[in-house]
Structure 1
Amino acid sequence: MYKRPQQVVTVAEAIKKLEHYCAYQERCHQEVEKKIATYSLIPEAKEKIILHLLAHNYLNEERFAKSFARGKFSIKKWGKNRITQELKIRHISTRNITTALSDIENSEYLKTLNELAIKKLDTIKETDKFKKRKKLADYLLYRGWESHLVYEKTTTLIP
């Protein structure tokens, strides 16, 4: 497998590049550390860069979690379970995950679930109501919606 050679940069150049990297889009620590690893730097320099980004508010886990949750919910129509799972993969703290999910309005959340379920139901060609219900439930569960909400929605849409 081809491995890209590491760039040789000074600490000042790395800070400037990473400031731009973080300003362009919200980033989590894991993404920034991965980016720093592409530069030939000593561990002390890596730590100095991360501290600089934190001190100048380029790197903020809570802001990242909120932005991530908001984006995945509104654009990809993910449920809270999937968002939580993805944030945990990125090593975001439970407190930040809870804060991010609390920003999602409950009425908006249920409205989105309803729209998503109806849209998917129109595409399911199955005639057997139990198989149809299972296909809809599997789709919604994969998208990260809570099982009790999925069960409620599938039973009301497919009586």
Structure 2
Amino acid sequence: MTESELLHRMAALCSGSEHCIQDIQKKMASADLPPEAKERIMARLLQEKFIDEERFCRSFVRDKIRFNKWGKVKVGYELRRRNIPYSCYADALDAFDMEEYRAILSGLLREKKRSVRGKDQREVFYKLLRFAAGRGFESNETIRCLKELDIETDDYEENTD
């Protein structure tokens, strides 16, 4: 494959959906081109805005929270795993509508509550708290939603720091 062909393939890929730099580098790794050619392709994709890390972060955050029902902790972890600096995705996480975020978490907890069994209210509370943590939701948001669903335990003190 030539440099020009690879550039067109990567541009077409980026035109179809958002990708980060690491995604494109992985795709180009299998191409039998010298590293300088791959760097030129990457520079051109960045220059022509086929790849934009901040745009990628905004769409990634929006999609993972809305459709996969992930919490901000898990989304942040996945973005760090893609070598995206915190400064790039912090704004995208903060910009997500908190009312929608809480509604997603509340819906997940309400749905999960139907299948969770425990010997007392305290056990159900902790099982739901662990479930939400596994999905990447912050404990203070989870506790707030659990209180709204009338699932409380007296021995758990909310940390408001």
How much has 1:24 moved relative to structure 2?
A: 1.6
Matching residue within 77, 86, 92 for 1:85:
77
- Superposed, 1:67-146 pairs within 5 Å as 67-146=59-138
Distance 2:100 2:143 in 1: 19
Partner residue of 2:4?
12
CA contact (8 A) 1:133 1:155 kept: no
Contact 2:102-2:145 at 8 Å conserved across structures = no
Q: Distance in 2 between matches of 1:155 and 1:101?
A: 24
Distance in 2 between residues matched to 1:114 and 1:96, nearest whole Å: 28
Q: TM-score with structure 1 length normalisation?
A: 0.89
- Partner residue of 2:157? none
Q: Distance in 2 between matches of 1:74 and 1:118?
A: 16
Q: Distance in 2 between matches of 1:74 and 1:148?
A: 20
The counterpart of 1:37, out of the listed 15, 18, 29, is: 29
Task: Give the equivalent residue in structure 2 for 1:158.
Answer: 151
**TM-score normalised over the length of structure 2:** 0.88
Identity of aligned residues (%): 32
What's the Cα RMSD here? Answer: 1.3
- The unaligned stretches of length 5 or more in structure 2 are 153-161
Matched, 1:58 2:50: yes
Q: What residue is the counterpart of 1:48 in the other structure?
A: 40
**Stretches of 4+ aligned residues off by more than 6 angstroms:** none
